[in-house]
Structure 1
Amino acid sequence: MYDAIVIGARCAGSPVGMLLARRGHRVLVVDRATFPSDTVSTHYIQQRGLARLAAWGLLDELVATGVPAIKHMTVSYRDIVIAGFADAINGIDVTYAPRRTVLDQILVNGARAAGAEVREGFAVRELIFEDGKVVGIRGAAADGEVREEHARIVIGADGRNSFVADAVGAQRYHEVPAECFVYYSYFSGLRTDFHSRIGVGEQIGIWPTHDDRTLVAVMRKAEAMPEFRADVEGNFHAIARAIVPEFAEELATHGKREDRFHPMRYPDNYYRQSYGPGWALVGDAGYHKDPLTGLGISDAFEYAQLLADRVHDGLSGDVPMADALAEYQRERDAKSHSSFEFTCSISTLELTPQLHAVFRALGGDARYAKDFFAMIGGGMTGEEFFAPERMAKLLGASA
């Protein structure tokens, strides 16, 4: 009998398992994948996410893998360019965009080192219910042997197509339709910092990752996907030429594509009911938004910590588990609200008149641009950055 079973061992699942095990709980973490293995990802970890890794004692291990530090960011909307970087946040003055083959292995190792049992290559086939409460799982390893395990709580950290969410009938709320699709690949021969550049109905993202590779991603509106797929490479380079012609020239003359193009056709933005009798959801299983702002990994870390804290409260008997899990969902929704709304707004690739005015002002004021990057990095909330008095000063200074 385990205290907790976690289904999914990537950016949300392994941290939850690790944190609960560190508090003395008996934890099983399972994943159908084996590690190291890749997964579709934005790669990017903001300063707040890196601060979590530092607090968990895992950041130095990531840095030691040779992932390049990012110390300058350029964000643009058509002719408006905002460049700079945030001051240190919780002592972190850089950001990173690691390959998931590297990051996820570090997280899995962290869970094992904490004392959690981790079973790779284990596919969960069903949840076990007793009197309407989830009490365990039934699944099989690669050899086909069916095993049944029981726990006081089962946590779904199994992504946006969550098996756990489907099995318990977790309902979505606050849904916002997805706007775009993404294609990305890895190139050698390039030298660049972080770029997120929006043109007319399209976007390009550029940032360095492991092995002297640069991740280059392009985005267009969902209805353009059939046309794009007819000539992926040609359209990929066309977006680069339209938005950042100087980079497009470097990409064409010095860049060598080292991998296939990876498509991402994301589902709608949503929150899911993330707890019930004997179960909880974390990561994209419980809350998902468009990849444009690259917040997924940092959010997975932050809300993994929050869920682990609340589950510990329930397991220890300090708070009834149902109350502890309700508080987890309430806190998660409150803390993520502003970034969710900002992401849904900007991922249309069309700024509202209000946001357009803000971006225009930020492009001409380095002081407020630093605050903008602090909001992106997690050193300032959206409510703080967009506070009426701050916006009045910013827009007044640009008038």
Structure 2
Amino acid sequence: MYDVIVVGARCAGASTAMLLARQGHRVLLVDRSTFPSDLRLSTHLVWQPGVAALKRWGLLDELVASGCPPMTTAAMDVGGFTVTGTMPAADGVREAYAPRRIVLDAILVNAAVEAGAELWEGCTVDELLTDDSVGAGPQVRGIRGHLRGGRTVSATATVVVGADGMRSPTAARVGASMYLARPARQGTYFTYWSGLPSRVNTLYPRPYRSVVTIPTNDDLTLVAVNWAIDDYRAVHHDIEGQYHQTIAEAAPKLAEQLRGGRREDRWIGAAVPSWFRRPYGPGWALVGDAGYLKDPCTAQGITDAFLHAELLANALDDGLRHREPFGKALAAYERQRNAAVMSMYDFTYATSALAPPTPQEERLFTAMRDDPVLVGRFLGVFAGTVAVQDFFASPSTAA
């Protein structure tokens, strides 16, 4: 019997398994994929607070060694001009990174195994094992699944953690309730390009659409186009044509670079809703996108996965070592998670509308043109190093 079974071995799951194993717990980590393997739908961005977590865990040097370019500055092209700024540091870390997931996820999975977690790769979970004898409803006790060769496997644990993404089968099986749910307001298509002379993380906001460039491993640049949700649904019939047309209209210099570059992958896209799920119950917990999801326009997913893995691992450690009852420890985890992300959740949802700039925002952009410190603080909102409420309460950004 294990202390914890973690279903899903990507950013949230592998991190949670690693931290629990380092705390001395017996952990089983399960994923239907094998590693190293890619995860297509990802913004890749790990902002400074997430990079600081990798540094705390002793994994940052491996990411740096992968050749992923560090980012300390970013740019925003608002149409008439471009502003560039330096993002504020988090715990002394000034660099953000945007690694390919075949790189990052392998680092995390290997760290979990090195810490002592057992890994079942190529394992699909078919059902949760439950015990109805406790008198307070079904208690999750383990998993039953199958390996790629077809062999049935099962395991039991004190707690099963669902880290299996936004379509989490674990959350569905336990009936995790959803709250503060909001529909998708934009949709994205992106791909990777080689041969681009300028590899700066740049945002091109335009009314009801935007373009973003993000440098990643292997001298590639992720170039994404975002459309308001109704336009995104229409784009599906001509992704390539609409992608290039939008970039030509919004970012003509970038369009010229793409003509001299080479597309290196297929089109990848999605429209992502926003919601919270109750992240715990009898014998189970949720972490990462399984428990909290938001539009990728602020690229918070990986950083949140790391920070919430720390919160959950500490809560489970308290429960497993009987410092706190599981219910009390996991309720505190939910409160801490929600308090940490609520302002960003609202800011992300507002940003995802891709609405034309308000008069206040136009004044802000004009002010940033001659104030690199203000630019840096604005970029810090996206990076999570400047609190949303602090930035917009400042006299220099108020209406």
TM-score by length of 1: 0.94
Is 1:114 paired with 2:121? no
Report the alpha carbon displacement of residue 226 of structure 1 after superposing the two structures with TM.
Answer: 4.4
CA distance in 2 between partners of 1:22 and 1:295 (Å): 25
Measure how far apart 1:364 and its partner are.
4.1
> 1:320-341 deviations in whole A, cap 9, x for unaligned?
1110000000000010011111
Q: Partners of 1:360 and 1:177 in 2: how far apart?
A: 32
Task: Say if 2:85 and 2:373, in contact at 8 Å, map to a contact too.
Answer: no
> Equivalent residue for 2:37?
37
Per-residue deviation, residues 215-271 of structure 1 (Å, max 9, x unmatched): 11111122123432232222111111111111111111x1101111112232x2000
> What residue number does 1:188 align with?
194
Comparing 240-249 with 222-231, which one deviates more in the overlay? 222-231
1:135-191 CA deviation, whole Å, 9 max, x = no partner? 111111112111221101000000000011000111110011111111111111013
Structure 2 counterpart of 1:238: 245
Q: Percent identity?
A: 45
With over 3 angstroms needed to count, the CA separation of the structure-2 counterparts of 1:79 and 1:133, relative to structure 1, is: farther
C-alpha contact (below 8 Å) 2:190/2:222 kept by paired residues: yes
For residue 217 of structure 1, give the secondary structure of its aligned residue in structure 2. strand
Aligned ranges 1:1-399 → 2 under 5 Å: 1-39=1-39, 40-79=41-80, 81-131=82-132, 132-191=138-197, 192-252=199-259, 254-266=260-272, 268-350=273-355, 351=357, 354-387=360-393, 390=394, 392-395=395-398
Structure-1 separation of matches of 2:54 and 2:190: 26
Q: CA–CA distance in 2 between the matches of 1:359 and 1:325? A: 42
Aligned length: 391
Displaced runs of 4 or more, over 3 A: 76-82, 351-364, 393-396
In the aligned structure 1, how far is the partner of 2:151 from the partner of 2:217?
37
Q: Name the CA distance, whole Å, in 1 between partners of 2:387 and 2:286.
A: 24
Residues in 2 aligned to 1:80 and 1:280: alpha-carbon distance in whole angstroms: 47
**Do 2:188 and 2:232's aligned partners in 1 also have CA atoms closer than 8 Å?**
no
C-alpha deviation, 1:382, in angstroms: 1.6
- Pair 1:80–1:291, CA change in 2 (3 A): farther
AA of the residue aligned to 1:83: T
The secondary structure found in structure 2 opposite 1:87 is coil
In the TM superposition, residue 370 of structure 1 has moved relative to its aligned partner by 1.8
Q: Secondary structure at 1:328's aligned position in 2? A: helix
Quick one: which amino acid aligns to residue 270 of structure 2?
M
Q: Do 1:339 and 1:382's aligned partners in 2 also have CA atoms closer than 8 Å?
A: yes
Q: Is the deviation greater in 83-92 or in 212-221?
A: 83-92
* 8 A Cα contact 1:357 1:395, kept in partner: no
Distance 1:352 1:278 in 2: 47
Maintained 8 Å contact 2:200/2:213: yes
Q: Residues 360 and 398 of structure 2 are in contact (CA less than 8 Å); yes or no, is this contact kept in structure 1?
A: no
The answer to whether the 8 Å contact 2:391/2:397 transfers is no
Aligned CA-pair RMSD: 1.6
Provide structure 1 residue ranges, at least 5 long, that are not aligned to the other structure: none
Residue 52 of structure 1 and its aligned partner are, at CA, apart by: 0.3
TM-score, length-scaled by structure 2: 0.94
Contact 2:74–2:87 (CA under 8 A) maintained in structure 1: no
Aligned-partner Cα distance in 2 for 1:294–1:240: 20
Which stretches in structure 2 are left out of the alignment for 5+ residues?
Answer: 133-137
Counterpart Cα distance in 2 of 1:212 and 1:246: 19
Counterpart residue type for residue 380 of structure 2: A
The residue type paired with residue 396 of structure 2 is: K
Describe the shift of the 1:234–1:120 C-alpha distance in structure 2 as closer, same or farther (beyond 3 A): same
